[in-house]
Homo-oligomer: A and B are copies of this chain.
Amino acid sequence: MTTDPATDPARFREDGHRLVDQLADYLQSAAAGRDMPVVPATPPGPLLERWSAPFPEDPGGQLGELVARLLADSTHIHHPRYVGYQVTPTLPLAALADLAASLLNNGMAAFEGGPAATVMEARLVAWMAAQLGWDAGADGVLTSGGSLGNLTALLAARQVKAGFDVWSEGAHGGPRLAVLVGEYTHYSISRALQIMGWGAGGAVPVASDAHFRLQPTALAQAHAQAHAQGRKVIAVVGSAGSTATGAFDPLADIADFCGEHDLWFHVDGAHGASAALSPRHRTLLAGIERADSVVWDAHKMLAMPALATAVLFREGGHSYEAFAQEAAYLFPGSDVREQWYNRGLRTAECTKRMISVPLFASLSLLGTKVFTQLVDDAFDLARRFGERLAAAPDFELCTPPECNIVCFRFVPPGAHDLDALQTRVHLQLGASGDFFVARTTLRGNVWLRTSLMNPRTTIADLDALLNAIRALALA
């Protein structure tokens, strides 16, 4: 089948060169904020019609045409006025390294399945652990996303702290368990607990302060409440920062509480653990070095293609607790803890993407300062935007931004139903194609929410955003 067009290296070369030019042109336009709306306007139903199946039986058509349609109907994360969800304009070099991964397609479960990607992963995990202030005893894995990462960490917490062998005996082998979580913890935490069969009561909310941070003085009450409900508390989850508002929970205080009560301390740093790379901002993470486990998404502030999540354990041995199991055809050895190189022992995935390749390549070739700069620029821009909002009489800043997530709302004089106004502004902005912001509900009120992930976004773009909102309201 060497001449089959489906597998022909010559066709890969031709298509590949055309694609690189096409994507480079696109990147240039998107980065300049030209020739495209930020988000396409077509609603789901009509868009589904446009991408009709059935698929043909025989080959035909050009990749370039299909990619042109894909580009037109996708959201333009590289556009400087995309300031919505916490997704990142990928570093172009990382996307290219990812192409090598897509072609090599090494499976990663066992060492022979992906030798280079395996040792790259080990190096990245060690480097990330060191950024958190951990020593060489730390360890961890890369996995497919923050939700799966949080589940992996909480499985280890369950196994270490439940007081019985949950993996073997199941939930019925002991008391109902609980984890204390801040009110504004990401939904993947409570979801993980519900996956594990803890029910809706497994996540016990801890009250937060005026700035949406977990209130350490409320931990004891939440602990007592869980106890009163017949649950054994095994862990506390701190957010750094929270998805909703970017608030950083007081990690050192949580660590104190965990130490006093022999609890596992998990930090969901999917978004904000990257602050560790910034000498100016790493104080936000003070206390993270005392966590038992940390989740850190490289596909957020480190600008990697999704999904690229690190699950890090201060005591490296704990990384083997999440999945206490062997598969004879993959891991025929005896002592699994000596098999650091068989990554499938410690990941939810059996076959895994070569997640390590883009980040290892980017750190090696671009250097670490680029990442420090990404964090500093984004956090600084958010602070300036927050100052703008605080100074504007017709806008309300939800809370001074701690990182690059800013929640605010439009409060023009005389407006009455402010929630309905934010909802309308959100929809109209999206439909205009000029900006994309997200929307959230906090303490019963609707807010607009921006994540400033793009180094090309400027304060002028954000001034323009505020003016666009003012103009919409007049229309």
Contacts and interface: CB of A to CB of B under 8 A. Distances in A.
Given A56-B368, A103-B90, A122-B48, A352 B69 contact: no
A307 interface: yes
A40 interface: yes
A224 interface: no
Contact of A96 (B74, B99, B357): B99
Interface stretch (A10-18, A133-141, A466-474): A10-18
A320 interface: no
A60 B367 contact: yes
Contacts of A97: 63, 66-67
A92 B9 contact: yes
Interface size class of chain A, counting residues whose CB lies under 8 Å from the partner chain: 35 or more
Nearest to A198: B170
Contacts of A19: 20, 96, 99-100
Nearest to A347: B147
Interface in A96-124: 96-107, 109-120, 122-123
A116 B70 contact: yes
Contacts of A252: none
A360 B95 CA distance: 20
Contacts of A120: 51
A172 B171 contact: yes
Nearest to A61: B365
A205 interface: no
A99 B18 CA distance: 12
A157 to B, nearest CB: 13
For the complex of A and B, list the 8 residue pairs with the smallest distance between their C-beta atoms, beginning with the closest. Answer: A170-B199, A329-B440, A16-B20, A171-B197, A197-B197, A12-B92, A73-B116, A13-B24
A87 B107 contact: yes
A23 B307 contact: no
A438 B350 CA distance: 15
A146 B351 contact: yes
Interface stretch (A186-194, A211-219, A286-294, A408-416): A186-194
Given A6-B93, A24-B16, A201 B350 contact: no
Contacts of A113: 75, 84-85, 87
A417 to B, nearest CB: 16
